[in-house]
Amino acid sequence: MTDIVRRLAALAAVGGIACGAGALRAQAPRTPPCAPDNAGLTLPAGFCAVLVLDGAGPVRHIVVGPNGDLFGALRDGNLIAVRDTDGDGRADLVRRAAVGETGSGIALEGGFLYFAMDQAVVRWPWRTGQLEPAGAPDTVVAGMVAGGEHSAKSIAVTAAGRMFVNIGAPSNSCQPQDRARNVPGLDPCPILDTAGGIWLFDARRTHQRQSDGRRWATGLRNVVSLSLDAAGGPWGVMHGRDQLSDDWPALYNAQQNAELPAEELFRIEDGRDYGWPYCYYDGAQHMLVLAPEYGGDGRSVGRCAQKEQPLLAFPAHWAPDATLFYAGVQFPARYRSGLFIAFHGSWNRAPLPQQGYNVVFAPFEGGRPAGTYEVFADGFRGSSQRAGSRPTGLALGPDGSLYVSDDRGGRVYRIIYAGAGR
């Protein structure tokens, strides 16, 4: 009996439990009232927020079903599924399933729920209203490169059955010894044969290996923020390289290290090369320059003239972890078809203050960024690496609400447009 009590208490701590037959039925999604304090967030006029879930563990990417059920991939190897049964905006029905390995990516498409672990992607058949897996999953692809930094996999699955997978490079700049001082990079970089890019697989097939897919695009150090546009094309903001002044002190000072390189937004096209590790984007000079590991001095362009230019640049080391094109109708018209980006926050901007830890919005026109970006949501429980919140995942609700996950505090926020009078 004591064990049962402990389990119920643990479930209540991450969003509560609901009893009775009504609690198990999926309810039609509706927009809830907002929290009086907007769950601590600072938002544009007219917007408000509610805290859906708190203390749920390291919840990474999330997806919301057509009935409003929310699913998240946890870094501790669990799948979490939650439901708000009474319409107050908070999850009161929580289910967990142990998948077994560290997770990060998730997708709900074509009657399947996909879960991406560091070396494999699995899936279950899934019906609207279902909260728990029916049996063991099938393996879609296994044996992907992992180990060291950037092992977490992000996925994006199209309605046509194409599955894009980010396979991050286990390296800062492709040196023979990673993050070593004054050491040239390997040329050509052998990591690019199996990582540092986006791979394409058939989401309808099972028991694939990495060699069964094909490299869609290369020169991408780590695109945790992989997502799709309305046409099913992949986009993402790349995590830029680190430690320019630590590794090359004769070429860069500490302030340059803090402000370089920019985080780069790309439309990730078939067969293109986006420059890593040979190049990085200097946001002050507005150009790709040659990395010091490959003979660069902070100004030389060299081979970078043949690499793809970013469509938009963001401050250095903000760590973009999710992108989402707004396809809802709840938000005002200027947000429709624009791009939201969740930034996980920096760790190496010293001596400047650490930054990021927010969600920004970039308006689009004609399928491209229109101007610059603006901070959309801030104040995530302290907004620092050591505090309790780091924005990680984004998802669109069926009513047009924007959901934001936080893998440090185990939270999920729901952002709502309440009207111009708020």
Q: State pLDDT tens for residues 61-84.
A: 999 999 999 999 999 999 999 999
Tally of structural domains, the chain: 1
Question: What CATH number should be reported for the domain holding residue 255?
Answer: 2.120.10.30
Q: Of 62, 61, 56, 53, which Cα lies nearest the Cα of 83?
A: 53
Q: What is the pLDDT of residue 50?
A: 96
Min mean pLDDT across 128-132, 152-156, 282-286, 379-383 is at: 379-383
Q: Using only C-alpha atoms, what is the Rg of the chain?
A: 21
Model pLDDT for residues 30-45, shown as the tens digit of each residue: 788 898 999 999 999 9
Cβ contacts of residue 203 below 8 Å, gap of 6+?
A: 109, 110, 112, 114, 123, 140, 157, 158, 161, 162, 163
Instruction: State the Cα angle at 223 between 214 and 67, rounded to 5°.
Output: 95
Residue span of the structural domain in which 357 resides: 2-275+313-417
Any domain includes 281: no
| Model confidence at 85: pLDDT above 70 | yes
Q: What is the mean pLDDT of residues 267-294?
A: 98
Any domain includes 280: no
- Averaged confidence pLDDT in the chain: 91
Any domain includes 304: no
Any domain includes 306: no
Specify the pTM: 0.92
Any domain includes 284: no
Any domain includes 105: yes
